[in-house]
Structure 1
Amino acid sequence: MPTAGAATPDPAARRRPAAAAAGSGLDDPHKKDIAMQLVSSAENSTLDWKAQYRYIEDIGDGRGYTAGIIGFCSGTGDMLELVELYTDRVPGNALAGYLPALRRVNGTDSHSGLGSGFENAWRAATADPAFQQAQNDERDRVYFDPAVARAKADGLRALGQFAYYDAIVMHGPGEDAVSFGGIRRTALSRAASPAQGGDETAYLNAFLDARKAAMKTEEAHSDTSRVDTEQRVFLDDGNLDLDPPLTWHVYGDRYTIGQ
């Protein structure tokens, strides 16, 4: 029996889901690791994202080399910024000598001054924990932290935060129609975000629709399974907190995170 002056318990409150606890978004270390595994399943066809520090290849998407845990590209500036950061921390490292070439090819798909020597130096550098940390830090600065902050401001829980992160990784943080900013803008023109009083599921469906349309403008990204059979699966299941167990498919391959 409640004491005098105490609020009377609301029986319905026990049936309502609790509000997302602090730290239950992607900034929670376990949820962040899940996000890394989800991206790796699409980017590298494996859940072992930590094995991707040494990854480097040209995937033919017009961005030059794609490398590392988040697909830093020689043609888009983020690979250059990563190597500059690493060189600031470890002068004379194996990649430092390629900085002039990286500056020249930035904005193009050229390998001029890079080639197999650069590929070998990249793989060798990944044995250095300082280079791994530099990759982590640049991933967070350029992609992860801005995506999570923007999603939280839009009132989105972990799944929405991941949808933003995956989009900014693939499309970049720009504002044109096929970059993250443009995709978000299109979604907001079709559905209100939770921060605007809208329904979270309806807004995320609008965002994923806009994301698919952007992906289809590039042949290299025309397979939209990372939306259709990954993110949309979690959304249709009502798993807005991205709680495991999770099962999904990318490019026809099945993946599971048990806990």
Structure 2
Amino acid sequence: MSTAYTRRSVLSAAAVLALCATLAPAASASSGGDLNDPQKKEIAMELVSSAENSTLDWKSQYSYIEDIHDGRGYTAGIIGFCSGTGDMLELVQLYTDRKPSNVLAKYLPALEKVNGSDSHSGLDPNFKKDWATAAKDSVFQQAQNDERDRVYFNPSVSQAKSDGLGALGQFIYYDAIVMHGPGDDGTSFGGIRATAMRKAKTPAQGGNETTYLNAFLDARKAAMLTEEAHSDTSRVDTEQRVFLKAGNLALNPPLKWKVYGEPFEIDS
């Protein structure tokens, strides 16, 4: 993963809870499908992985870990959990709750201390090796899946449904929260959504779905350009915008796109 793939501001459990608390009862989404459908969710995982790890094989990324020097410490796993943003700490805590004797449990005090920084203090020299060992454990893999859903997938898809968006819009929200994190500041998911809603009405408000999603992608791109590590906006320009221009609000395959100049395709 290069520095072009970095994402999100510092997370907190409170921010996630605040986002979830603001979700209105889900309105019926557009005719464009539901990202909770297993096939659609698999597509979403592959799309995110193409941008985060340059592969469609997202399940090969449980063991991924490196410091990409973006100020967030170690970035690891299927969704890029970071030692400096709180979500890695919560992941390892969940793993330890489920399997107390796991190889990463001893790092919990260190992860608490480095949260909010790029420090490796208490993690080196063996944290990367031990992460790779843990990644072979199905319990740890499931913990990664569950934290991905709790922190990123479920809140973003629920909010998209409340806004009357179909599968493409649900994915656009999900990809945004993966990179930018939950929260209400201008470069977090909530702030990006608020900016978009000042420009266009959501379908739930009676607005046009395509018009609103273009406004959201405009706001997302502006947020990305405020940080050098996000200056390559191809995951918006040559991925999501391509699907939107094609009118593929249901995110139906076949899908062809590029991220960072690299072509990808999902046939079915």
Deviation at residue 92 of structure 1 after TM alignment: 1.5
Q: 2:229 aligned with 1:233, yes or no?
A: no
1:130 maps to which of 139, 143, 149 = 139
Alpha-carbon distance in structure 2 between the residues aligned to 1:68 and 1:239: 30
Alignment of 1:206-217 (within 5 A): 206-217=215-226
Q: Which has more radius of gyration? A: 1
Deviations 1:198-219 (A, max 9, x none): 0000000000000001111111
The yes-or-no answer on 1:200 pairing with 2:209 is: yes
The alignment partner of 1:82 has SS state of: helix
TM-score normalised by the chain length of structure 1: 0.91
Quote the RMSD (CA, aligned, Å). 1.4
Matched residue, 2:23:
none
Q: Choose from 30, 49, 53 the match for 1:40.
A: 49
2:90 is equivalent to residue 49 of structure 1: no
Q: Which letter maps to 2:265?
A: T
Kindly indicate whether residue 40 of structure 2 is the aligned counterpart of residue 27 of structure 1.
no
Per mean C-alpha deviation after superposition, the further-off stretch among 22-31 and 140-149 is 22-31
Report the counterpart of residue 117 of structure 1 in structure 2: 126
Matched to 1:173, the amino acid is P
TM-score (normalizing by structure 2): 0.88
**In the aligned structure 2, how far is the partner of 1:105 from the partner of 1:21?**
43
Q: Is the 8 A contact 2:32 2:251 kept in 1?
A: no
SS in structure 1 of the partner of residue 215 of structure 2: helix
Q: Please tell me the residue identity of whatever aligns with 1:109.
A: D
Specify whether residues 209 and 22 from structure 1 end up closer, same or farther in structure 2 by C-alpha distance, changes over 3 A only: closer
Give the CA deviation at 1:221. 1.1
Runs of 5+ unmatched residues, structure 2: 1-27
Question: What is aligned with 1:99?
Answer: 108
Shift of 1:22: 9.0
Match of 2:172?
163
4+ runs deviating over 6 angstroms: 19-23
Specify the code of the residue in structure 2 equivalent to 1:199: N
**Could you tell me how far apart the structure 2 residues matched to 1:130 and 1:49 are?**
17
- Aligned-residue offset at 1:137: 0.2
1:53 touches 1:69 (CA, 8 Å); kept in 2? yes
**Match of residue 74 from structure 1:** 83
Letter in 2 for 1:248: W
Please state if 1:177 is matched with 2:186. Answer: yes
1:58 aligns with 2:67: yes
In structure 2, what residue type is equivalent to 1:52? Answer: Q
Give how far 1:23 is off: 10
User: In structure 2, how many angstroms separate the alpha carbons of the residues matched to 1:161 and 1:51?
Assistant: 24
Give, in whole Å, the separation in 1 of the partners of 2:102 and 2:61: 19
Distance 2:207 2:239 in 1: 23
Q: Deviation per CA, 1:1-60: give whole Å up to 9, x if none.
A: xxxxxxxxxxxxxxxxxx979993110000000000000000000000000000001111
> Helix, strand or coil: the match of 1:187?
helix
Distance of 1:207 and 1:167 partners within structure 2: 10
Equivalent pairs, count: 241
